[in-house]
Amino acid sequence: MAKRAPLGVWLYGGRVAELTSGRPGQVVCRYSGEALERWPLNIPLLSCSLLLSARPRRDAGVFFRGMLPEGQHLQAMATEANVAAYDTFGLLARFGRDVAGAAVIAGTSAGERPGGVVPYSDEALDREVAGLEDRPLAIYDDSELSIAGLQNKMLLVADGTTWARPVGGHPSTHILKVEDRRYPGMVTMEASCLALARAVGLTSVEAEVRRLGGADCIIVSRYDRKVGPEGKATRLHQEDACQALGRDPEAVHGQGKYQHAGGPALAEIARLLDLYATDPIEELKHLVSAVTFNVCTGNADAHGKNVSFLYEKPGQLRLAPLYDTVPTALWPRLRTRAAMTINGQAELGGVMRADVVAEARRWPLAPDVAQAVATTTAEGVLSALDATAVPAQLADFVRHRVTAFLA
């Protein structure tokens, strides 16, 4: 294979790393002299799994592959880029300008091609969504974007009073996800759970449900983008728990994001917060609250790709706002086993407040603190039901679950 030109990685206003690859599937990351002079060694700059060091990391592929989708979406991108689906380097060379987090990956300067947007009319957006099966992620020749996951989705830019398609790596601001027809009502339930999470202070993500392309869709704001008063979007750096812990979500037949298949566990997430959070105790309390919320809303799919960290500044992180808050327990064919065990409990419906307290004690967080946080969160969710318009099925489930949890 002909030698390929290196890729640059831009972050925090500078070129922080160079990526090379000697063979398809390999990604070698070497931090730049600029990064090594600007920040202290051994801090998580790009990732907790790629601490700042003068030594090249030849196992960087797991972190960077975490920026790419899975399944048919990955294959469609590989076809567009004319590379193999396992060629992470080749895919990022083509689509790395707008990925999750703040990193911009490209062969030229990050600002050399600022990109732009193509506005959608209502009719055009409707057609675009209807055609996602044939054009996954709505990728065109001028698209330089990627987003992780399996679900039918696309990236959008809020452009005044309309939606637009990002071009040439322009930062997207929203994610549109199409409802899986096997599970009617799912996007409405997800949006309702996000509303409950906002009510108890666990997310900043805003959601709306629209009928597009003959299907119900949910459009959510990206928590890793900050939109200024003039509509300019700024990227915020983040990574998911699989990336932070160097876990391959595609391992074990695509189950590697779940704890039972080697994916992240709550204690490992807590350890990263203890090591790198500005205020570890506050972040561990936030983790207790997030776990409690997922138990009370029946979300058994809070796996390593659905739990993330936001970087407040280089080397310092916190838990990201909740997202993908699907109450899977409402669909008999979906998961009821917790993606991450709680005090050894695998069945989410059997998790009680005492289990959350016992789990938090291992992180370690004082039992009285964990008990108070779990209680406040559960009671807050219950109160939020009265002030938030949620489907009756979800409201009944949550009331029953919170009552059992607190008992």
- Going from the N-terminus, what domains does the chain have, and what CATH number goes with each? 7-105 (no CATH), 116-227 (3.30.200), 237-406 (1.10.1070)
Q: Is the pLDDT of residue 399 over 80?
A: yes
Question: Mean pLDDT throughout 1-25?
Answer: 90
Q: 3-state SS of the chain?
A: CCCCCCEEEEECCEEEEEEECCCCCCCEEEECHHHHHHCCCCCEEEECCEECCCCCECCCHHHHHCCCCCHHHHHHHHHHHCCCCCCHHHHHHHHCCECCCCCEEECCCCCCCCCEEEECCHHHHHHHHHCCCCCCECCCCCCCECCCCCCCEEEEEEECCEEEEEECCCCCCEEEEECCCCCCCHHHHHHHHHHHHHHCCCCCCCEEEEEECCEEEEEEECCCEEECCCCCEEECCEEEHHHHHCCCCCHHHHCCCCHHHCCCCHHHHHHHHHHHECCHHHHHHHHHHHHHHHHHHCCCCCCCCCCEEEEEECCEEEECCCCCCCCHHHCCCCCCEEEEEECCEEEHHHCCHHHHHHHHHCCCCCHHHHHHHHHHHHHHHHHHHHHCCCCHHHHHHHHHHHHHHHC
**pLDDT confidence bin for 1, thresholds 50/70/90:** low
Q: How confident is the model at residue 161 (pLDDT cuts 50, 70, 90)?
A: confident
The stretch 77-88 carries a mean pLDDT of 94
Average pLDDT, the chain: 95
Q: What is the pLDDT of residue 112?
A: 59
Q: At 71, is the pLDDT very low, low, confident or very high (cuts 50, 70, 90)?
A: confident
For 89-110, write each residue's pLDDT tens digit: 999 999 999 999 999 999 877 6
pLDDT tens, 130-153? 999 999 999 999 999 999 988 899
Residue 80 clears pLDDT 90, i.e. is over it = yes
pLDDT digits (tens, 9 = 90+) for 181-198: 999 999 999 999 999 999
Q: Which residues belong to the active site?
A: 301
**Residue 160 reports pLDDT greater than 90:** no
